[in-house]
Structure 1
């Protein structure tokens, strides 16, 4: 198995425009929209040959937002700034910023669609 075995993730959404606006504002990235197999999707930037997984927001009958199940961790340079942008856009903080000795900081928020996602800042 590869050192970083996760290849791709999809985050369920019910309102693609709202979700795209949320993720672009909170993480400062541009998502690219397209329809894949009949599903509206918005893809996060991806750099070939670089570590990390690709991912997308996904809307369709099989995509149901949830605070239960797998939790995706987003690496961020400044967790406080990301938390501020997220809460300014209506996100609830589900797990307040906490120091992880020797590793940095983590926090969890509820996105615009009702999903639990996590933030990770490495020292």
Structure 2
């Protein structure tokens, strides 16, 4: 029997780390932290090991392209509209505006400066 959520880490591959860091730090108003990892440039999102959810990192690695569309990582937002307001100014694009997902809250899809599609998720009011 599973005791926690099955996904524990995500990596978002980038071509230009400075550009990508600037985008994510601007949209989500957070600072990324350098991770020491041989053969790749990694910058992690904030992590709280004792909290529900997963963290991850921006990664630049030789031979790995950005812009894959097979998996979408969703970022928690208290109000999706606030992050959406920052996306275009930070160099990204809005793919799908804030949309109700019924009892699960609201979501939006955006494309970062590296061509990666990511999701924004806002829980319903009673879950906040």
Same fold (TM over 0.5): yes
CA drift of 1:73 comes to: 0.7
Per mean C-alpha deviation after superposition, the further-off stretch among 59-68 and 103-112 is: 59-68
Runs of at least 5 residues in structure 2 that lack an aligned partner in the other structure = none
Aligned to 1:22: 23
Alignment partners' CA distance in 1, 2:54 and 2:73: 11
Aligned to 2:85: 84
The normalised TM-score by structure 2 is 0.89
Q: Aligned pair count?
A: 123
Q: Alignment RMSD, CA only?
A: 1.3
Alignment partners' CA distance in 2, 1:114 and 1:53: 22
Per mean C-alpha deviation after superposition, the further-off stretch among 93-102 and 39-48 is: 93-102
Query: Greater strand share, 1 or 2?
Result: 1
Alignment partners' CA distance in 2, 1:23 and 1:90: 10
The normalised TM-score by structure 1 is 0.93
Aligned to 1:4: 5
Runs of at least 5 residues in structure 1 that lack an aligned partner in the other structure = none
2:27, 2:83 within 8 Å by CA — same for their partners in 1?
A: yes
